[in-house]
C-alpha cells in the first residue's frame, strides 16, 4: 500500500555542522523534508511559522538553551502538535530525563544509525498526525 500522506517536515537544530549535514542528508534520503539550522535561538520561531511536524534539537545547543527553546515551543498555541526529539552524545542524568518527560519530549543519543533516527521520528510524529497511523 502506497503512503499518500503528506511528507513529514522536520527542523533539525544542531551546532555540530558535520552531524547536521550528514543526518539531514540521510533523513532526506528516507523521504523526510528536513531543514537544518545551527542556531538554536531561531528554532522556536521557525517551528511556529513553518508547520513542522518534528523538531530535533541538540541538548547542548547554542546560543539558546535547549530546554528553554522546548518550553517556549510547548507554551505556544500549537506547541503540543509538534513532536520534539532532544539528542545528546551520551545518556542524560536522571533529573534531565525527568525534565524532558514532564514536557512531553523524546530523547535519543545522537550517534545512532540513520534507520534509528528515521524510526524514532516516524513513531513520534505518528502520535500527532492521524494520517500516519497506518503508514
pLDDT tens-digit series, residues 22-31: 999 999 999 9
User: Domain coordinates of the chain in residue numbers?
Assistant: 9-126
Distance from the first to the final alpha carbon of the chain: 9
The whole-model pTM stands at 0.88
- 37: number of Cβ within 10 Å: 17
Q: Cα–Cα distance between 38 and 40 in angstroms, integer?
A: 6
pLDDT tens-digit series, residues 36-60: 999 999 999 999 889 899 999 999 9
Side-by-side strand order, sheet with 54-58:
33-37, 9-13, 54-58, 83-88, 106-109
* pLDDT score of 108: 95
- When the candidates are 1.20.1090.10, 2.60.120.260, 1.10.10.10, 3.40.50.2300, the CATH number that belongs to 9-126 is 3.40.50.2300
* pLDDT score of 2: 44
- 28: number of Cβ within 10 Å: 13
pLDDT surpassing 90 at residue 81: no
Amino acid at each position: 500500500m502506497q503512503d499518500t500522506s503528506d511528507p513529514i517536515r522536520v527542523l533539525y537544530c544542531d551546532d555540530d555542522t558535520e552531524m547536521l549535514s550528514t543526518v539531514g542528508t540521510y533523513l532526506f534520503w528516507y523521504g523526510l523534508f528536513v531543514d537544518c539550522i545551527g542556531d538554536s535561538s531561531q528554532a522556536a520561531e521557525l517551528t511556529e511559522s513553518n508547520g513542522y511536524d518534528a523538531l530535533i534539537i541538540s541538548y547542548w545547543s547554542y546560543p539558546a538553551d535547549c530546554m528553554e527553546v522546548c518550553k517556549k515551543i510547548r507554551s505556544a498555541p500549537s506547541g503540543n502538535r509538534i513532536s520534539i526529539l532532544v539528542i545528546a552524545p551520551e545518556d542524560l542524568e536522571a533529573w534531565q530525563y525527568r525534565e524532558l518527560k514532564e514536557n512531553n519530549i523524546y530523547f535519543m543519543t545522537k550517534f545512532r544509525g540513520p534507520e534509528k533516527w528515521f524510526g524514532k521520528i516516524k513513531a513520534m510524529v505518528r502520535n500527532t498526525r492521524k494520517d500516519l497511523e497506518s503508514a
